[in-house]
Every structure is written in C-alpha cells, then in structure tokens.
C-alpha cells in the first residue's frame, strides 16, 4: 500500500537537497555564469544546474525508492511498469534563475495511476518549503495552507504565465488583456510552481496558463488542491470538455471558480 505521508517526506528530502545544489550553483545575485543551452526556442533555456539537480534527484530516489519511476523535464520518462512515478522539475523558472531573479523553485511530486498523492516545492532563494499529501492538507514551512475566501470576481487577483513561442505568447497576452478588465489585477512570476503555491496560500486568488509541461503543474497543483483550491488539469488526450483549451491549467479559489471559468471561456481561452 502506498503511504502519501511517507512519499511526502521523501519529496521534501530530495527537493530540499536539489534546492541546496541549485542555490550553490547560482553563485550569488549576478547572472548565472555556468553552461546554458536552449530547447524549443531561443528563449527556452536549460542550465547546467537544471541537469545537475535532476541527476541528484534521480540518484536520491533510486536509493530511497528503487522500484519507482521518474518523469523529469530534462531526462525524460523511465517509469514504465512502475506503480509510483515521480514527476520532477529541477528548476521551475529557469529564466528567472538565469537572470538572478529569486522566483524559481524545485518541484517534486509522486503520482499513483497518474494522480499526484504527495508533493514538495522548494524555493531556494526564499527558503520556503511547500508540501502536501493527498487527503492530508498542504503546508508552507509546516504551517497549514488555505486558499482565499474571495467571492467577488472584480476583487480577484489572478496570476498567469506565457509560452516560449512568440505566436502563442501574443494570443495569451490578448487573453490577459481581456481578463484585466474584469478582475482586480494580474501577476506574472515566471514560475508555475510558485504561482500554484501562491493560490494555496491565498497570496493570489487564481492562476491559469496554457501549455505547461506535466512537471510544471504536478507538485504545485496538488498543493493548491489540498489547500482547498479548485484545480483544472490539462487533458493529455487533447480533449477540451469545458471550452477552456485542452492544455489549460487552472487553480482558483472556490468562491470565484465558476465565474472565472466562465470569464475565461467567454474571453476565448479555447483559442489560445
């Protein structure tokens, strides 16, 4: 039997170790001076620290949970046949990390049958440790989290993010501009994991973004959900059942979930 509490402990251990590594490799507040490559576009970067952190996480998980599989952003999926799969983003917010901005995180989540049951998101620059276990709530540095109690859409603070490909980024910017007329304001941190955790803490009332990788939302999504937020995951089959776009991630305070979902639909989220 899988114990979510035990998996949460493992997630905290390995994410914290990776957080220490990437902070050490960062080398202060100046721009990152290590090796940097690109992936899907010239603005989609991967650093030597991303790769080193994922290698460390995989190594620790192999010691602690040798029967489990791992899906990592940098090294792919080796989880075939494993009951438990760890979903790893070694640095979420790599562009921030590259430039010296503090909004970056290590995200580690454990899934059973494709559903996250434990997670940890570590913010090395801020020293924060977010975690959750399914059915057991979410915490920040050990303190319980709760999504905001807002019930008024015009007073809803919404976080979002943008794609690396310029054509899609333009459509996302247009959608954000349409939303800005109906909500309190918009925020953009550059880290999906931190934005999802911010929903869990009530620091923002909602977060949405199209096109996230599984590793981007797996950990923070569980933390937001366990804090009481309504979570809408992307559909890997490409099906769009609610007119928001198959690859939209949405976490929102329950009191405004229906209204914000309808606003996104009316504003053309499915066309992003």
Domain that holds residue 216: 153-271
> Domain tally for the chain?
2
Same domain, 130 and 24: yes
pLDDT of residue 76: 76
Question: Which one of 144, 166, 188 terminates a domain?
Answer: 144
Tell me if 91 is assigned to a ligand binding site: yes
Tell me if 13 is assigned to a ligand binding site: no
Query: Which residue from 96, 44, 51, 56 is spatially nearest to 73, judged by alpha carbons?
Result: 51
pLDDT of residue 29: 65
Question: Which one of 144, 169, 200 terminates a domain?
Answer: 144
Same domain, 189 and 140: no
Same domain, 117 and 163: no
Same domain, 120 and 42: yes
pLDDT of residue 124: 96
Segment 140-154, tens digit of pLDDT: 999 999 999 999 999
Same domain, 203 and 132: no
Tell me if 50 is assigned to a ligand binding site: no
pLDDT of residue 39: 65
Query: Which residue from 136, 140, 118 is spatially nearest to 127, judged by alpha carbons?
Result: 140
Whichever domain contains 239, its CATH number is 3.40.190.80
Q: What are the tokens at 82?
A: 């494993």
Taking the C-alpha atoms of residue 235 and residue 139, their distance in angstroms, rounded to an integer, is 27
Tell me if 92 is assigned to a ligand binding site: yes
Task: Give 10-residue mean pLDDT values along the chain (272 residues).
Answer: 94 98 81 66 74 95 96 80 93 93 97 95 97 98 98 98 94 97 98 98 98 97 98 92 96 98 98 95
Taking the C-alpha atoms of residue 100 and residue 19, their distance in angstroms, rounded to an integer, is 15
Same domain, 15 and 64: yes
Same domain, 208 and 236: yes
Q: What is the pTM of this model?
A: 0.94
Tell me if 195 is assigned to a ligand binding site: no
Same domain, 160 and 79: no
pLDDT of residue 238: 87
Whichever domain contains 97, its CATH number is 3.30.540.10
Same domain, 186 and 123: no
Alpha helices for the chain (secondary structure H)? 4-26, 48-64, 94-99, 166-180, 192-201, 214-226, 257-266
pLDDT of residue 47: 83
Contact criterion met (CB below 8 Å) for 60 and 17: yes
Same domain, 41 and 139: yes
């Amino acid at each position: 039997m899988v114990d979510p509490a035990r998996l949460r402990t493992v997630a905290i251990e390995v994410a914290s170790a990776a957080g220490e590594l990437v902070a050490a490799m960062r080398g202060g507040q100046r721009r990152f001076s290590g090796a940097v490559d690109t992936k899907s576009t010239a603005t989609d970067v991967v650093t030597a620290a991303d790769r080193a952190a994922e290698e460390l996480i995989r190594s620790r998980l192999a010691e602690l949970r040798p029967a489990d599989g791992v899906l990592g952003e940098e090294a792919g999926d080796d989880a075939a046949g494993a009951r438990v799969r760890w979903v790893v983003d070694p640095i979420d917010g790599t562009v921030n990390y590259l430039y010296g901005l503090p909004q970056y995180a290590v995200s580690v989540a454990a899934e059973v049958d494709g559903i996250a049951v434990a997670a940890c998101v570590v913010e090395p620059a801020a020293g924060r440790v977010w975690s959750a276990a399914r059915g057991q709530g979410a915490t920040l540095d050990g303190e319980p989290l709760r999504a905001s109690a807002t019930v008024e859409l015009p007073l809803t603070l919404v976080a979002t993010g943008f794609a690396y490909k310029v054509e899609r980024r333009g459509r996302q910017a247009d959608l954000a501009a349409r939303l800005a007329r109906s909500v309190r304001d918009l925020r953009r941190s550059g880290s999906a994991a931190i934005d999802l955790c911010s929903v869990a803490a009530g620091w923002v009332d909602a977060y949405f973004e199209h096109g996230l990788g599984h590793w981007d939302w797996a950990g923070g999504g569980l933390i937001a959900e366990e804090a009481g937020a309504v979570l809408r995951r992307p559909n890997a089959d490409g099906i769009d059942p609610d007119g928001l776009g198959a690859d939209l991630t949405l976490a929102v305070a329950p009191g405004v979930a229906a209204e914000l979902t309808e606003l996104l639909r009316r504003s053309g989220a499915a066309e992003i």
